[in-house]
């Protein structure tokens, strides 16, 4: 099996859009857990297996091309399927006194932490990947009714441009099917959310 070690280009770049229109594009669908890895084997919808071994800490992007065969007019590209992200905005707190800011930040931290949800703080926003159903996350936020904190759900692909690679891994890397975001093992009992 051939091992792909480099990204040739990206389907979203202007020079590749034209080539892709005239090529047979085979997509490799990656979930957000696999997309954080630099080494993996994935099977396409056509049943073909591809081994990818990129340099460590490589950051994959939706549309990355691992193979381009111009003579065959063939492209093999990655399609990353990211979950939505809860975005809590604390921007309205900027006009508040320090005690209110601290109180609100700790209250939000407690609400998120009590659910064992991973989070990334960037500026005045807190990003939380959907690790459970959207309705459950919305219910938790409504139940806590934290004043001056608004929230919405945004596609993960729209959030990624604002984050550094290590923040992307923290946000999406621990939410896969084999992660322990939902289940925490303790010596004498299992604690599940």
Give the pLDDT mean for 111-121.
Answer: 92
Which two structure tokens, joined as six digits, stand for 4? 């792909």
**52, β-bridge pairs:** 4, 40
Q: Burial level of 35, CB count in 10 A (0-12/13-18/19+)?
A: buried
- pLDDT tens figures, 87-108: 999 999 999 999 999 999 999 9
The answer on 104 and 59 residing in a single domain is no
Same domain, 38 and 102: no
pTM, full prediction: 0.66
Over 70: is that where the pLDDT of 176 sits?
Answer: no
CATH number at residue 176: 3.30.70
Question: Are 36 and 126 within one domain?
Answer: no
Q: Are 108 and 93 in contact (CB under 8 A)?
A: no
Whichever domain contains 60, its CATH number is 2.60.260.20
Summary mean pLDDT of the chain = 86
68 and 40 in one domain? yes
Band (pLDDT 50/70/90 cuts) for residue 110 is very high
Average pLDDT over residues 150-164: 88
Phi then psi for residue 19, to 5 deg, are -60, -40
pLDDT in tens, 34-81: 888 889 999 998 999 999 999 987 888 889 999 999 999 999 999 988
Return the pLDDT at 174: 54
Average pLDDT over residues 134-162: 91
**Is residue 128 scored above 90 in pLDDT?**
yes
What the block records as the tokens of 132 is: 């459970």
Mean of the pLDDT values across residues 121-150? 92
- Could you say which of 65, 81, 97 is where a domain stops? 81
pLDDT at 193: 38
pLDDT of residue 186: 32
Same domain, 53 and 106: no
Q: Reduce the DSSP state of residue 73 to 3 states and report it.
A: coil
Kindly state whether residue 22 falls inside one of the protein's structural domains: yes
State the Cα–Cα distance between residues 14 and 156, nearest whole angstrom: 23
- The answer on 109 and 65 residing in a single domain is no
What pLDDT sits at residue 182?
39
Query: Is position 193 within any domain?
Result: no
Residue that is written with structure tokens 């770049």 in the block = 13
Residues in the chain: 193
Looking at per-residue pLDDT, the higher value among 158 and 165 belongs to 158
Mean of pLDDT values over 144-154: 93
Domain containing 133: what range? 84-186
Split at pLDDT 50, 70, 90, the class of 192 is very low
């Amino acid at each position: 099996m051939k091992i792909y070690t480099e990204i040739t280009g990206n389907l979203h770049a202007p020079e590749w859009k034209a080539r892709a229109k005239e090529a047979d594009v085979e997509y490799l669908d990656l979930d957000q857990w696999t997309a954080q890895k630099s080494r993996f084997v994935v099977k396409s919808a056509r049943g073909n297996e591809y081994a990818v071994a990129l340099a460590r800490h490589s950051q994959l992007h939706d549309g990355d091309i691992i193979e381009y065969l111009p003579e065959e007019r063939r492209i093999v590209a990655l399609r990353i399927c990211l979950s939505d992200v809860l975005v809590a905005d604390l921007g309205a707190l900027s006009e508040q006194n320090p005690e209110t800011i601290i109180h609100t930040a700790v209250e939000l931290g407690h609400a998120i932490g009590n659910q064992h949800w991973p989070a990334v703080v960037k500026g005045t926003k807190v990003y939380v990947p959907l690790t459970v159903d959207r309705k459950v996350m919305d219910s938790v936020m409504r139940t806590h009714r934290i004043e001056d904190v608004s929230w919405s759900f945004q596609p993960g692909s729209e959030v990624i441009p604002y984050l550094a690679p290590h923040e992307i891994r923290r946000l999406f890397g621990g939410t896969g099917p084999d992660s322990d975001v939902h289940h925490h093992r303790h010596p004498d009992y299992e604690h599940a959310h």
